[in-house]
Each structure stands twice: as C-alpha cells, then as structure tokens.
Structure 1
C-alpha cells in the first residue's frame, strides 16, 4: 500500500476486494480521511499511526464500515497497552529475541496458498524452562507485523491460515499456557490487523485436548468453527496446504525449514529501526 492510499493489485484482486470487502478507491479515500480526522481530533490518547499502511487493514477487516473500523482500532491500541510486554522492547538484536527468531517458533511460508498467508507455529520449538511464553508471543507478533504489514499485504484481503504444530509438546510447554495468557492470546487474534481464517492443529495427540479446550473457552463461536484438530500427521496438513509451498521437513518441496527461518530472521532484523520507533504506539 503506497502512502497515497492507492491499491496496487491487479484487476482480479481488486474485483475480489470490492465484492467481498467493499474496497473501492472512493471508500479507501473516505475511510482514510475520516479515520485520520477521528484519531487526531477525538482519539489522540490512542497514539495511533496515521499512515495508510496502518489504517487500511482495519478498514478491510471492517468491510469499510468506518464505525466498526474505529472500534477495531481502539481494541488494537488497547491491546498494545494492556500487553505492553509483547509490544515494547522489541529490538530484534536483543540476544533472547534473536535466539527465539532463529529457533523458528513462528514461521510464515514464503509463498501464499490461494492468496492466504500460511504460518506454521511450532509450539514446542523452544525450551519453556529457558524462554518465557510472554517472550515467545512477543517474537510471534514481531514476525507477524513484518509479514502482514510489509511482505504480504494481499493477505489482509484474503486472510491467514494458522497451523499449530503440536509435535513434541511437553508438560512444561502446557504449563506455560495458563488461562490468563491464553485468554490474552486469543484476544490478540481477534484484535490484530489481519484475520486468521482457520486454526489448524496438527500432530495433536489426544491428551492435548485439555490445552485446546482452554483456547476454545475464550474463542468466539466463529473462531471455534474455524478451529480443526488433525491427528493424521503431515497427511492432514497436505489436505489444506499445497506440498509445493511447504518446507521439506513438512513433506514439501520449498527448501529447508532452516532457510525459511533464516529468511524471516533477516527480514525482521532489516526492520530494526521500525521496531525501535514502534514502541510508542499504544493507548495511554
């Protein structure tokens, strides 16, 4: 998205956005004008970013209903305030943060699936005795910010597929997912600047239903309907994501997982100045 509020997709994508999100040049311009006025004159306490890059996603989520977009923006900047531990001190060169990025807990694929961004969340890639769940979620949001705001704007239109790989989850991983932190995580999914269209849990043994039930207890009905638990390993994954865009470790042909992790490591580090400046954008 250019800072002139222009849509830079081909005619087919623009048609889809118009038919499904009410996105037109006129609606973008009117929405930006009103939201910017509202943020400056009525909601300076949100300390919100005013560029189109950071406002258009919420208009898209609202199908360009301006009043709904305002509510979403309030929820988002309150989320950043109430979970400051996730949205401050996000220097990707901090040793702990860089280490977690390199572990590959949160790994978007480099190719889209039906114009949707696919993220593999490797829930057991870290050692919960070393890295806190709060810090894990901080890094997750850092990578998602880079992917959704700078790399795959198209996914703001078509959405996100969240793949939770539960392979290797231990008692200690489960213990770190307290009801409080799960509640906040689910709220973040609801209030972020990109919509997850499905939550797919793979390699999920039966005993993990306890954890999944905690997540579901905080989900909306629509989120519950979008949540699927798969017990057939990688075969299940291949039913909803093409093999061709998956790394080799997931039965695909898109290169090594390590290379994918390194790709996102470099992308996040390239946005270091942006992260340092981004700390201040949250509600008072």
Structure 2
C-alpha cells in the first residue's frame, strides 16, 4: 500500500521503542495488519482512518497490545461522534478559536525534553464569562493534533503537560463541572498521544480540591503522573530544562509570543486537513 509506514527515526529511538513499547519491525507490521483488518471487517461503524500513520500512534500508546488498541480506537472515534462541541466544525478561522489560540491557552514548545513534547496549558488566560470551556478544549486538541502529526517522537515518548494555574478564580472553577472534567480525563486517556507528566504550577492553595475531582476519573497510572508545584516555577526547572522553557517561565527558550504566532499560523495552514478529518467518527 502506498501509505505503508517506514521507520526513519534513529537507532536510539528504535531501541527505546522496542524496550518500552515492544515495537519491532515484525510486531509493528503484524499489529497494523490486524488492526486494519479489524477496522474493515468488524469496525466499519467507527468510520476510522485506515492509514498506517493514524493507526500507529494508538498501537504505540497501548504498547502494541492489539486488544487495548481496539478499545482505545473505539473510545476515540465514539468520543468524536458524541462530543460535537469539541470535535465538529474545527475551523481555525472561527473567531472563538482564533481568540483562544492567540491568548495562548495551549502552547506546545518547539524544543523537547528527553524527546517528549512539552505543552504549556494556561488554564485561566481566557475570560470564562466570554469563552466556553468546550471551545478552550477544542482549540487545544486542534493544536495537539497538528503538533503530533508533525513530530513522530510524540507518539513514542509522550507529552509533558505544564498546567499554569495563574489567575484561576471562581468563574474558572465553575466552568469545570463534573461532566466537563469527566470528558476531559476520558479524552486524555483515549487520545493518540500519551501524557507522561502532568505538572501543575502557580497553583492556588485550594488546588487539591480541584485535582480531587480530576483524579476521581483518572486511572491509577495517570494519578501517579500528577505533580503540584507551589511557590512559582523554580521547582519546575528540575523537571524541564531552562533552555527549553520560554523566558516567561524563567527559561532561555523561545518566547510565548513567538510560539503563539507559530501555532496560530500552523493551524491556519492545516485548515483543509481539519475539514477533511471531521468525517472520521463513529456512525
């Protein structure tokens, strides 16, 4: 097939994938064949993408356990159907998406840490009286999709997510209803790239009240990946090198303004892909 995947990453990545994900040329070919056959024969109601490059991230996220991959694919494409508020009309030109992207609600860095994608999520930079929480998550997922498509290492090494809690107030907390939180955690656990670290910085003293709600919907493995940093960003530098972080977070890396501009332009350049991608969801 013309879309057949070819491993082009270096030997160190190949060894990491084999040791940590059980990925070899043989296991990859066999698993891709099995999942494609299953999607064609038993899962046509999912209306899933059949190209290698869209199946492989799910296999990697499930360490090539094909039964877990089938479950995750089912959850993912069902989620895309059942949450139109986050997965339909993903047009980068929409005013609400433009505003949120330019505010910098969700900003991947362009340098990695131990090959992991680092994402800064500014949880309170938007106005909760103006912007819907579903639109915030929608904009974030759009950026994540583009970032993950561009960098295959994300699939193998995962993501370090930094949640900047600066400015979180009562109205932000009110938007995080149990239903919204449940949807959010379900999405994290069934998306095509894995959060390996969840770092909360500039956290208010009542952060544990908020996190308790989130953790109630998490698997134990994900709960163990949550870490809270009090008193500024100093302890974050033990997790993410200063050379990677923007100056706004005490680092020497690219500025938030420059990163926001980059991802805003990236979304616009992928507008046709978003329009084409919207058809893929459970029937």
Could you tell me the TM-score, scaled by structure 1's length? 0.97
Q: Indicate the residue corresponding to 1:198 in structure 2.
A: 197
Matched, 1:98 2:98: yes
8 Å contact kept, 1:117–1:160: yes
SS in 2 for 1:96: helix
Unaligned runs of 5+ in 2: none
Give the equivalent residue in structure 2 for 1:73: 73
Q: Is the contact between residue 119 and residue 161 of structure 1 (CA under 8 Å) also seen in structure 2?
A: yes
Distance between the aligned counterparts of 1:214 and 1:48, measured in 2? 32
What aligned pairs does 1:201-212 form with structure 2 within 5 A after superposition?
A: 201-212=200-211
Q: Which residue of 2 aligns with 1:236?
A: 235
Partner of 1:182: 181
Deviation string, structure 1 residues 197-228 (Cα, Å, up to 9, x no partner): 11111000212322111111111111111111
Structure 1 CA distance for aligned equivalents of residues 241 and 53 of structure 2 = 30
Question: Which residues of 2 match residues 54-203 of structure 1 at below 5 A?
Answer: 54-148=54-148, 150-203=149-202
Q: TM-score, normalised by structure 2?
A: 0.97
Q: Name the CA distance, whole Å, in 1 between partners of 2:113 and 2:24.
A: 24
- Aligned residue for 1:97, secondary structure, equals helix
| Separation in 2, partners of 1:72, 1:20 | 19
- Size of the alignment, in residue pairs? 282
Counterpart position of 2:40: 40
How far apart are the structure 2 equivalents of 1:174 and 1:271? 32
Give the root-mean-square deviation of aligned CA atoms.
1.1
Deviations 1:219-253 (A, max 9, x none): 11111111111103110211100010111111111
Q: How far off is 1:133 after superposition?
A: 0.2
Aligned counterparts of 1:11 and 1:144: Cα–Cα separation in 2: 26
Residues of 2 paired with 1:157 and 1:79: CA distance?
23
Structure 1 unaligned residues grouped into runs of 5+: none
